[in-house]
Amino acid sequence: MDDLKLIVLSNFSEVGKKVDEHLKKIYNVNTSFIVPIEEVRFSNGEGKIVIKDSIRDKDVFILSDIGNYSCTYNMFGFENHKSCDDHFQDIKRVIYAIKGQASQIHVITPLLYESRQHRRKARESLDCALGLQDLARLNVKNIITFDAHDVGMQNAVPLTSFENFYPTMTILNEFVKSEDIDLRNMLIVSPDTGAVDRARLYADIFSTNVGMFYKRRDLTKIVNGKNPIIEHKYIGEDVNGKNIMVVDDMIASGDSMIDVATSLKKLGANKVYLTATFALFTNGISKFKEAYEKGIFDRVYSTNLSYVNDEISNEKWFVKVDCSKQIAKIIEHLNKKLPLTELLDDRKKITKNIQKII
Q: What is the CATH number of domain 168-322?
A: 3.40.50.2020
Q: What pLDDT sits at residue 222?
A: 75
- One-letter amino acid of 176: V
The total of other beta-carbon atoms located within 10 Å of residue 282's CB is 11
* Cβ contact 187:211 at 8 Å: yes
pLDDT of 219 over the 90 cut: no
* Cβ contact 104:51 at 8 Å: no
pLDDT bin (cut points 50, 70, 90) of residue 256 is: confident
Q: What pLDDT sits at residue 298?
A: 97
- The model's pTM is 0.92
Q: What pLDDT sits at residue 6?
A: 98
pLDDT of 216 over the 80 cut: no
Helices and strands per DSSP (H, E), number in the chain: 11, 16
pLDDT of 207 over the 80 cut: yes
Q: CA angle 315-231-124, nearest 5°?
A: 85
Pairing assessment for the beta strands 78-81 and 72-75 based on DSSP bridges: antiparallel
Q: What pLDDT sits at residue 352?
A: 67
pLDDT of 183 over the 90 cut: no
When pLDDT is averaged across residues 14-27 and rounded to a whole number, the result is: 97
Q: What pLDDT sits at residue 354?
A: 67
pLDDT of 357 over the 70 cut: no
When pLDDT is averaged across residues 313-333 and rounded to a whole number, the result is: 97
Give domain 4-165+324-343's CATH architecture: 3-Layer(aba) Sandwich (3.40)
Q: What pLDDT sits at residue 141?
A: 96
* Cβ contact 157:135 at 8 Å: yes
Q: What pLDDT sits at residue 356?
A: 64
User: Over the stretch 76-112, which tens digit does the pLDDT of each residue have?
Assistant: 999 999 999 999 999 999 999 998 899 999 999 999 9
pLDDT of 341 over the 90 cut: no
Q: Report the range of poorest mean pLDDT among 15-24, 43-52, 233-242, 342-351.
A: 342-351
Q: Report the percent of the chain where pLDDT is more than 70.
A: 94
Q: Report the range of poorest mean pLDDT among 68-77, 118-127, 263-272, 280-289.
A: 118-127
pLDDT bin (cut points 50, 70, 90) of residue 11 is: very high
Q: CA angle 203-357-248, nearest 5°?
A: 30
Q: How far is CA 44 from the centre of its chain?
A: 31
pLDDT bin (cut points 50, 70, 90) of residue 195 is: confident
Please state, in angstroms and rounded to a whole number, the distance separating the CA atoms of residues 305 and 144.
Answer: 12
CATH 3.40.50.2020 in the chain: give the residue spans.
4-165+324-343, 168-322
* Cβ contact 308:320 at 8 Å: yes
